[in-house]
Chain A
Amino acid sequence: MGAWLDESLTWGNALIFFLWGVILLTIVLGFVTYAIYFERKVIGWMQLRIGPNRVGPLGLLQTVADIFKLLIKEDTIPRKADRVLFILAPALAYVPAFAVLAVIPYTQDLYFADINVGLLYYVALSGISTIAIVIGGWASNNKYALLGGMRSAAQMISYEVPLVISVVGVVMMTGSLNLRLIGEHQGNWFWEWNFLPQIIGFVVFIIAAVSELNRTPFDLPEAESELVAGYHVEYSGFRFAFFMLTEYVYVYAIAALTTVLFLGGWHPPAPFLDFVPGIVWFLLKFSCIVFFLFWLRATMPRIRVDQLMGFGWKVLLPLAILNVFITALYLELFIKG
């Protein structure tokens, strides 16, 4: 893959890159379809229910049917909504969610873009989705949507900061922002992965990531028992599906990013397990994180908005900074010295 990317651009390899993009898109859409199915099944089992089991064998086609239903639904735009922004918002949320996937490496050979500032690119682009949510909430001209949008803006800004600072430790240990190098830098024993030396950073990252995803216990922007549905309350049909897709694509992205940053990416937990291909390890760790995110949803109540702010600024941010400090101290005293 690396060799391909270094070649000069011709019509031939432009077509190949395009095809790779399409393949990635298909994989991600497939993931979203079955992540929703998986989530509903897992939460169903945890809640003494069966989950989807009617459409197709074992209910496997349930999400497909749901998406089809959304496609053929009437597309309503409230009369008093800001039409342009209302239409723009779902697309604006969706595009960065997909764009961030470009920098994620799956094995040392399988990656789609080898950018030296990969991590920075991820963080910068994912921030754009916040704007889309605020726009969507505002353009709907609905009070619930507005409240949801505002909450989301406050939440994303508060948690973006600890999220970024928590990964600084990893960057310092690797000496690079390139996600492929960060993955490669971790060893073949599980204690050589970043999550143990960077345990504070890891915990802060996971909490901030759940918040970034707007998932329970941080699902305030769409808190259904208070704000009905939050920022997408006025959206229907495929525009709604776009917001939904965005959410799940970010689940994919965050799970993949956590795997690469902290869980050793494609490395096996012990060297003698090397015969199993790297992609299998990657998928295994990735699935565990996805499961963890779904599990949280069945367990946790929702935090209150002022508590959320306090937690982000007073607990997570100092912890993340402390982690940077400890990492710097460690590197200075033991590695360089």
Chain B
Amino acid sequence: MIRTEELLLNVGPQHPSTHGVFRIIVKLDGEVITEAIPVMGYLHRGTEKLAEDLNFTQIIPYTDRMDYVSAMTNNYVLCHAVETMMGLEIPERAEFMRLIVMELQRVASHLVWWGTYLLDIGAMSPFLYAFRDREIIIDLFNELCGARLTYNYMRVGGVKWDAPEGWLDKVRDFIPYMEKKLDEYNNLVGGNEIFLARIKGIGKYDAQTAIDYGLSGANLRCTGVDWDLRKAEPYSLYNRFEFDVPLGKTGDCYDRYLIRLEELRQSLRILKQALEQMPSSGEVMGKVPRVIRPPAGEVYVRIESPRGEIGCHIVSKGKAEPYRLKFRRPSFVNLQILPKLLVGETMTNLITILGGIDIVVGEVDA
């Protein structure tokens, strides 16, 4: 009689495919996972606690460092929360600038996901193609606010800098270029038999499970639930534009892949409309008191980040610092379904499923 043993394998925190310092302990029977225990917190910096000693303008750079792949949307959710509390008016041009950078950011973020996901699956080249195109957006942001990753661009009441001369034209030129590249990506990867065999039917769950786990973003929409905060609870200027919310049917990794690619196209569509409707001049900073003191009370706002619903809950006692600040981070919430999905899967599918959820560890641990 052969004696077999379960293998306890420690994946991460130093593992090439856990997207940072995420760690997961798996019990393997051969190559099949019988139990998976995620371990989080290697990148915990206590953002929410630190925020209690800072005024709101000082908190903005901290939000950059949560989801560092999509810093603009993080900036926005905090500013939006404070503005909602104080009932501030935002100049139209400022709101347009915010929307343009947020959609550009969504394109950049999905490109990072696309490249790294294929890298996880074993294809090297798409990663470099994706980063070539992301670089253009990063350069645009660099020109706008002097930073490539942590922008600190938005302020309560508007944005810090108006677009430099010619910047909007560069964005305009970028859209057709990116649309062409998306077709190219689709040709390169979309029909690859090995790639399809790797992700079709993997990591499946139904709509009820997704809602029970509080999933959001592409992870929710892949099951067919029509829930995009840009459409469902329009914030900023999203109700002025026409765009579709791509939905999946089966809830597997392939649907998530298709949705994210389609979201890229829709973002470009929004950008195109935004550039047309944007006022050619105007203030980019509203009338804001010198010291930002939201009135005592609570507020919760939520927006659609590339990874899902990012929320900001502020409890204020009428001081310049928040009494309590809480971020609902989509990566953290979406990750909770992972142990359930992994049981019965192989080691290879662990990487496929984890990549498909699209986490950023900075946001998981905050």
Which of B16, B31, B194, B346 meets A302, CB within 8 Å?
B194
Among A49, A217, A304, residue most surrounded by chain B Cβ atoms (within 10 Å) = A304
Given A217-B194, A305-B31, the answer on whether A299 and B15 have CB atoms closer than 8 Å is no
- List A contacts of B17 (CB < 8 A): 225-226
What is the bound-complex CA distance between A306 and B132, given in angstroms?
34
Q: Which of B315-351 contact A (CB under 8 A)?
A: 346-351
- List A contacts of B31 (CB < 8 A): 147, 305
CB distance from A78 to the nearest CB of B (A): 16
The main secondary structure of chain B at its interface with chain A is helix
Are B348 and A301 neighbours in the complex by a CB distance under 8 Å? no
What is the bound-complex CA distance between A86 and B288, given in angstroms?
69
Are A216 and B7 neighbours in the complex by a CB distance under 8 Å? no
Which of B16, B118, B132, B349 meets A301, CB within 8 Å?
B118
B129 contacts the other chain (Cβ, under 8 Å)? yes
Q: Please encode chain A, from 293 to 316, with 1 for each CB lying within 8 Å of some chain B CB and 0 for all others.
A: 000011111111111000000000
Q: Which of A15-63 contact B (CB under 8 A)?
A: 43, 46-49
- List A contacts of B8 (CB < 8 A): 143
Are A47 and B124 neighbours in the complex by a CB distance under 8 Å? yes
Tell me the nearest residue of chain B to A49, going by C-beta: B128
What is the bound-complex CA distance between A311 and B198, given in angstroms?
14
- List B contacts of A300 (CB < 8 A): 122-123, 192, 194
- List A contacts of B347 (CB < 8 A): 147, 226-227
Which of A48, A146, A226, A297 meets B132, CB within 8 Å?
A48
Tell me the nearest residue of chain B to A216, going by C-beta: B122
Given A301-B198, A303-B197, A304-B197, the answer on whether A225 and B351 have CB atoms closer than 8 Å is yes
Which of A49, A224, A299 meets B123, CB within 8 Å?
A299
A234 contacts the other chain (Cβ, under 8 Å)? no
What is the bound-complex CA distance between A216 and B122, given in angstroms?
8
- List A contacts of B15 (CB < 8 A): 228
B125 contacts the other chain (Cβ, under 8 Å)? yes
- List B contacts of A297 (CB < 8 A): 124
CB distance from B227 to the nearest CB of A (A): 31
Are A48 and B16 neighbours in the complex by a CB distance under 8 Å? no
What is the bound-complex CA distance between A46 and B347, given in angstroms?
30
B112 contacts the other chain (Cβ, under 8 Å)? no
B195 contacts the other chain (Cβ, under 8 Å)? yes
Q: Please encode chain A, from 210 to 222, with 1 for each CB lying within 8 Å of some chain B CB and 0 for all others.
A: 0000001101000
Which of B7, B122, B197, B351 meets A307, CB within 8 Å?
B197
Among A47, A143, A226, A298, residue most surrounded by chain B Cβ atoms (within 10 Å) = A226
B86 contacts the other chain (Cβ, under 8 Å)? no
Q: Which of B117-167 contact A (CB under 8 A)?
A: 118-125, 128-129, 132
What is the bound-complex CA distance between A226 and B123, given in angstroms?
13
Among A48, A49, A301, A302, residue most surrounded by chain B Cβ atoms (within 10 Å) = A301
Are A47 and B128 neighbours in the complex by a CB distance under 8 Å? yes
Given A217-B194, A304-B348, the answer on whether A43 and B122 have CB atoms closer than 8 Å is no
Q: Which of B266-315 contact A (CB under 8 A)?
A: none
What is the bound-complex CA distance between A144 and B15, given in angstroms?
11
A209 contacts the other chain (Cβ, under 8 Å)? no
Are B9 and A143 neighbours in the complex by a CB distance under 8 Å? yes
What is the bound-complex CA distance between A297 and B119, given in angstroms?
12
What is the bound-complex CA distance between A217 and B118, given in angstroms?
13
Interface size on B, residues (CB 8 A): 29
Are A143 and B124 neighbours in the complex by a CB distance under 8 Å? no
Given A226-B17, A305-B31, the answer on whether A143 and B125 have CB atoms closer than 8 Å is no
Are B348 and A46 neighbours in the complex by a CB distance under 8 Å? no
What is the bound-complex CA distance between A217 and B348, given in angstroms?
14
Which of A48, A303, A305 meets B346, CB within 8 Å?
A305
Q: Which of B90-137 contact A (CB under 8 A)?
A: 118-125, 128-129, 132
Are A303 and B194 neighbours in the complex by a CB distance under 8 Å? yes
Tell me the nearest residue of chain A to B17, going by C-beta: A225
Are B120 and A225 neighbours in the complex by a CB distance under 8 Å? yes
What is the bound-complex CA distance between A48 and B8, given in angstroms?
40
CB distance from B217 to the nearest CB of A (A): 23
Are A219 and B122 neighbours in the complex by a CB distance under 8 Å? yes
What is the bound-complex CA distance between A298 and B123, given in angstroms?
7
Are B195 and A301 neighbours in the complex by a CB distance under 8 Å? yes
CB distance from B178 to the nearest CB of A (A): 16
What is the bound-complex CA distance between A225 and B349, given in angstroms?
11
What is the bound-complex CA distance between A25 and B9, given in angstroms?
41
Are B197 and A48 neighbours in the complex by a CB distance under 8 Å? no
CB distance from B353 to the nearest CB of A (A): 12
A223 contacts the other chain (Cβ, under 8 Å)? yes
- List A contacts of B351 (CB < 8 A): 225-226
What is the bound-complex CA distance between A103 and B197, given in angstroms?
39
What is the bound-complex CA distance between A303 and B129, given in angstroms?
21
CB distance from B115 to the nearest CB of A (A): 11
CB distance from A301 to the nearest CB of B (A): 4
CB distance from A293 to the nearest CB of B (A): 15
- List A contacts of B192 (CB < 8 A): 300-301
- List B contacts of A217 (CB < 8 A): 122, 194
Are B346 and A228 neighbours in the complex by a CB distance under 8 Å? no
Are B7 and A143 neighbours in the complex by a CB distance under 8 Å? yes
What is the bound-complex CA distance between A143 and B28, given in angstroms?
10
Q: Which of A279-337 contact B (CB under 8 A)?
A: 297-307
Tell me the nearest residue of chain A to B31, going by C-beta: A305
Tell me the nearest residue of chain B to A302, going by C-beta: B122
Are B346 and A306 neighbours in the complex by a CB distance under 8 Å? yes
CB distance from B235 to the nearest CB of A (A): 37
CB distance from B168 to the nearest CB of A (A): 27
What is the bound-complex CA distance between A298 and B124, given in angstroms?
6
- List B contacts of A143 (CB < 8 A): 7-9
- List B contacts of A216 (CB < 8 A): 122
Are B132 and A228 neighbours in the complex by a CB distance under 8 Å? no
Are A305 and B128 neighbours in the complex by a CB distance under 8 Å? no
With A299-B123, A304-B348 given, name 11 new contacts (CB 8 A).
A43-B125, A46-B125, A225-B16, A225-B122, A228-B15, A301-B123, A302-B122, A302-B194, A303-B197, A304-B197, A305-B346
Binding site for B on A (CB under 8 A): 43, 46-49, 143-144, 146-147, 216-217, 219, 223-228, 297-307
Nearest first, the 5 closest Cβ-Cβ pairs linking A and B are: A302-B122, A301-B123, A225-B17, A47-B128, A301-B121
Q: Could you give 7 example pairs across A and B, Cβ below 8 Å?
A: A47-B125, A147-B31, A219-B122, A225-B122, A300-B122, A303-B194, A307-B197
